[in-house]
Amino acid sequence: MSERIVIDTNVLISALRSSRGASYRLLMLVGGADFEIALSVPLVLEYEDVAKRTPEVTGLSDDDVDDIIDYLCGVAHLQEIHFLWRPVLRDSRDDHVLELAAAAGCGVVVTHNVRDFAGSERFGVTAITPGEFLRSIGGS
């Protein structure tokens, strides 16, 4: 079984903004054999909200965003969360991402805001950048 990860919203938006860089390469690997993503309802709603708020940045229509999110939901491990540990992180808006990672047995949250996840290690979760994660799976 491949490693299960959570992709933070900032990584998804970065991937949608540009086809260059590690965020985009990571998104292109979703659904493959190297790793599995975990999603929860709150994270999917956040993905949708942020992506649809920035069409001038991504160049995507609402229908395009819906198609991408539908694909992600179709290949992801969908996790219900039955507990709340809030607040835990420096930015309380990231607590639901950590709760998802812990509930879904993910050892990694892939994010551009690694510092915001300080303390996640006590839940067995490490925050790393997309580039670091790609290097860890041999996808530099």
- Model confidence pLDDT, tens digit, residues 97-118: 999 999 999 999 999 999 999 9
- The model carries a pTM of 0.93
CATH for the stretch 3-136: 3.40.50.1010
List the one residue out of 44, 99, 98, 101 whose CA is nearest residue 71. Answer: 44
Confidence (pLDDT) at 84: 66
Provide the β-strand partners of residue 119: none
* Full strand arrangement of the beta sheet holding 35-39: 77-78, 35-39, 3-7, 108-110, 126-128
